[in-house]
Amino acid sequence: MESKFHAELAQDLSLMLNDSDDFNVIIQVGEDHNMKEFRMHSNILKARSPYFKNALSGRSTTTKRKTDNFKRSEIIEFKKSHVTPNSFEIILKYIYTGEVDLSKLSGVEILGVLVASDELLLEKLFNYVQDHLIAKQTVWVKQNYVLVLHTIFKLSNYDLQIEETVAWDYLIKWGIEQTPGLVSKNNDKTKWNDNNYRALKRTISHFIPLIRFVEISPADFYDKVRPYKAVIPDYIYEEITEFYYKNTLPKTTILPPRNAKVRIESRLIKLNNACIIAGWIERKNEKSISNKYNFDLLYRSSRDGININTFRTKCNNQGPCLVLVKHQQSTKIYGGYNPLGFMHSGGQWRNTTESFIFSFESDREVQNTNISRVNNNYCNYAIYECYTYGFSFGNMFYMNSDNNIYFSNQGYYDGNIDDVLSPYLNNNFVPGEIEVFKITTS
């Protein structure tokens, strides 16, 4: 029988870190009064970090920064003046023992660990620190958004789970607070003059190119960005305007999407809703999803017409799908996840344990979303396929041949299904909009 002693191995390696008599690498971290010298072992560094593997092998690589003072002798020396000693200690403990404790670090210190792990190409540590920063330091990230934005712009892998409209709002709010004379006028833009706009433009000019304007909806652009046209460079504003009118991507301001794990273009839900749905699919918190999700639009009733035949033509045999329905006379959004996809059938129940139904108010916080998963005792009745239906989740949430949406609690889905279907349980309504997305993961 095989035995594993990983804990003892980590403990022994930690002794090498604390008692490094046979070191052959010195790394000077920080600068001036906040500089600390670390003594380490090249074999361990090369085994654990692709950055050090390249640097210590004497090869010239793009990962080595110009600020590194690197030379070879019996003792190999590095200088990392832009990394703090506190952040580097976390990195070293991870390299030597595989252990990480971020619980006692401030938001700015965690951000420092994120930057250092990115530079040293420690992908698993980077992902862990990123998830921790998003999940545990949400308030700090929002309060220091511009610092975070400016820092992570330098990173290639960071997925900041925040909508671009919110990013713009934070930038404007921060800029006003940093610009003398604007705070008192913040609530009344009619009192602003040209000098006020020029002053705000100077304050935020370095950050404007970091905003992904193409990820802001036309409505939000009109309501939130257009009033500040004077602070946006003309060439950027012209490119974004052309994008909205002609769908032409900008040539000089294009940046990779901020949230690389989820892609959706919906008129009914926002990016943070889509992230939550992706988390439900994996049965995880939305900040911990493993896969990347593309929600590709198959059907939109305002574009394709509200008709079950058109629905089936567009959506059949496309794989896992997300259905979204907006009530015509309220802000209520209803939805369902079909992991099996839709198919032609004269009347057939289909078995799955992964389908679910949900609802929320589109004008409220996403935390108010209600979800009901299929009852494992009735998973044979999770999805109903019939040519007279557009879709049917257990005959509890379905689109009938009259193109209306019907609800009925058959007991096939668990938990708070009454809350999910409220206030239209055992009733029907005319949909204001229906969207169906094909879901692919990578």
Domains and CATH numbers, the chain: 6-135 (3.30.710.10), 164-246 (no CATH), 266-441 (no CATH)
Query: Mean of the per-residue pLDDT values for the chain?
Result: 81
Distance of CA 250 to the CA centre of its chain: 23
- Residue 72, pLDDT score: 42
> How crowded is residue 326: how many other Cβ atoms within 10 Å of its Cβ?
22
Q: Encode pLDDT of 59-72 as tens digits.
A: 433 333 333 444 44
pTM of the model: 0.52
Q: Encode pLDDT of 277-307 as tens digits.
A: 998 999 887 666 778 899 999 999 999 999 9
Residue of higher predicted confidence among 432 and 17: 432
Element (H, E) at 359: strand 356-361
Which own/partner contact pairs does 344-349 have at CB distance under 8 Å and 24+ positions apart?
A: 344/312, 344/316, 344/385, 344/387, 345/385, 345/386, 345/387, 346/386, 346/387, 347/384, 347/385, 347/386, 347/387, 348/384, 348/385, 348/386, 349/380, 349/381, 349/382, 349/383, 349/384, 349/385
Residues sharing a CB contact under 8 Å with residue 131, sequence separation 6 or more, in sequence order? 287, 288
Q: Encode pLDDT of 100-126 as tens digits.
A: 999 888 888 888 898 888 878 888 888
Distance CA 433, CA 326 (A): 5
Distance CA 331, CA 361 (A): 5
Distance of CA 51 to the CA centre of its chain: 27
Residues 23-37 have a mean pLDDT of 85
- Residue 287, pLDDT score: 62
